[in-house]
Amino acid sequence: MPSPKNTTATDTNLPDRLNDFYSLFDKLNTTSPSSITPHTPSSSLPLFTVDILKSSPPSPLVIDDRTVEIVQHFKFLSSTISRNLKWELNVVNIVKTAQQRLYFLRRLRSFGLTTQVMLNFYRAVIESVLIFSNTVWFGSITQKDTLRLNRVVKTASRIIGRDLPSLEILYQQRLLGRTTLISQDSSCP
């Protein structure tokens, strides 16, 4: 039985194919626009295009003989993560939770508690919800979502009777703190 022949690029007819390609390109390049026939659907061949966004879905991911389901969004550590990495649903859930907790802040005011007690309650119960994992999502939310979140802060500010820092300021402070920790960590590259 003869041994299989090892072929290299020089053994193939690649130079001939390149010459054919170059001659076709030259031919197309020298064609005058007047010699090109106008496009009519009945006289032309169908044009096939490949659209990556409309291509077939990827094959399913299987881990331990179980297929991983593709979902539109899921909740992870109290943050709602959408399939397209938009954070609108997460913001809606945060605002809903924060508004529910504003009720208790209003009740504290009705009991006549001091501003400092209400401020401590706000920071512990409401602000903690608003800024939880905000270094992950706050930088990529829309202006509309930012306004929704800041509306909660303004409402709390009116209830307490004291100015509260906006979420942009809190985000920048947390981001700066996180960056400082990472830069000081010798195990980080």
Q: Which pLDDT score is estimated for 31?
A: 55
User: What is the DSSP track for the chain?
Assistant: -PPPPP--GGGSSHHHHHHHHHHHHHHHHH--GGGSPPP-TTTSPPPP---GGGSPPPPPPEETTEEPPP-SEEEETTEEEETT---HHHHHHHHHHHHHHHHHHHHHHHTT--HHHHHHHIIIIIIHHHHTTHHHHGGG--HHHHHHHHHHHHHHHHHHTS----HHHHHHHHHHHHHHHHHH-TT--
Higher-pLDDT residue of 103, 2: 103
- State both tokens at 171: 């985000």
For the segment 25-35, the average pLDDT, to the nearest whole number, is: 57
Q: In this predicted model, what pLDDT tens digit does every residue of 136-160 receive, in sequence order?
A: 788 888 899 999 999 999 999 999 9
Q: In this predicted model, what pLDDT tens digit does every residue of 61-106 receive, in sequence order?
A: 888 888 888 777 778 787 777 777 788 888 899 899 999 999 999 9
